[in-house]
A and B are shown apart, each in its own frame.
Chain A
Amino acid sequence: MRCKRARLPENIHGFGLLHHQIKPYRNGLHKKGNMNIADFLRNFEELLELAPETLTGTETLDELETWDSLAIIGFLAMADDRYGARLTGGRISACESVQDLFELVQSAAVAAA
């Protein structure tokens, strides 16, 4: 995975981990182990409020106008909710492309399974 500059915003001051984390809530459609690139892209499009089937996975994150600091927070939540993957802002900062994000979530989901 390629690395680039940090994307976590300065106004995330770590308050999110001062107390116990809420246990992940997963609906019936997205349980651990149900991960493939198509499913991931649809969830990611929904998070970024893009039209369905807009993304192919080859896009760089810099290309995505709605990939901002709040989207990163949302991505952390989505990865936990949908795939049981506990990520950190630092690991997301190392991703350059949508494919990188998919691989990150996939590896974290496998580790958590």
Chain B
Amino acid sequence: MSGFNPLDLTGSAILITGASAGIGRAAAVYLSRLGARLAVSGRDAARLQHTVESLHGSGHVALVSDLAVQPVSVTVDAAFHALGRLAGAVHCAGLHELRPLKLQSRERINRLLEVNLIAALELAQALRKPSVRAERPSIVFLSSVMATVGQPGAAGYCASKAAIEGMTRSLALELAPERIRINAVAPAVVRTEMGERMFQSMNADQQAAVERAHPLGLGEPDDVAAAIAFLLSPASRWATGTILTIDGGYTAQ
């Protein structure tokens, strides 16, 4: 059918955190191709500028911010002033490291939770305000397969992603009366720039083991970006509180 595109986001103003690299950058480019006007935020001004230069269309804005030290509401307000009422937001900013329990600290866990979890909650809180949001906004959080399966040395990260999923369901119910949708995507290993460097540092056996864990192979950033686009678009208007697993079969085993 000519002209039929249920993922069309033409004119929609959308904020993406963590857009200076990886899934955040891929999502920004993908959404711009669907017609969205974007506010992209991240810590690194130069890399963020690269994201902006990769976007299709015009009217996009870069917002340099460190969510570990700056309230997300500042970024949301800046996005609103630049783009007008926001139709959606995606929280791609995140921290992760592998670290055994005996080397963990309250300081490290708190910082990880601040960016992965609390900033996500603050994003929803700020976007909920009737003065800054469009009529039926959609918010997408980034979870991980690590929310449901364990990995040695990743207790903090796993906890933060499991918490994201619980929060997604709770906020979905709380905000449904306001016609605000809350969903999350849960990817496995994706070939981001940093993930690729890690992959290349492994020997052939290790790379094969990672590949075997993903029956469809490792993911590409656009695989996750497409899932994010669906959850932002009118095509998912009946979906809220959903965790959309997109993992190449990683958790099917």
Give A residues with C-beta under 8 Å from B.
Answer: 6, 8-22, 25, 47, 49, 69-71, 73-74, 76-78, 81, 88-91, 93
Contacts and interface: CB of A to CB of B under 8 A. Distances in A.
B12 to A, nearest CB: 26
Nearest to B111: A22
B94 A15 contact: no
Interface of B: 18, 21-22, 43, 93-100, 102-103, 105, 107-108, 111-112, 144, 146, 151-154, 157, 188-190, 192, 194-195, 197-199, 201-203, 205-206, 209-210, 213
Contacts, number: 118
Given A18-B190, A88-B198, A70 B100 contact: yes
A90 B108 contact: no
Contacts of A76: 98
B203 A18 contact: no
22 contacts: A6-B202, A6-B206, A10-B206, A13-B213, A14-B195, A15-B146, A15-B154, A18-B189, A19-B194, A20-B18, A20-B95, A25-B107, A47-B103, A69-B152, A70-B152, A70-B153, A73-B98, A73-B100, A74-B153, A88-B201, A90-B203, A93-B203
Nearest to B99: A77
Contact of B151 (A13, A25, A77): A13
Contacts of A74: 99-100, 102-103, 153
B206 A18 contact: no
B253 to A, nearest CB: 13
Given A16-B96, A18-B194, 16 more contacts: A6-B202, A8-B203, A8-B206, A9-B152, A12-B206, A14-B189, A15-B154, A20-B43, A21-B194, A22-B108, A22-B111, A22-B112, A77-B97, A90-B201, A90-B206, A93-B203
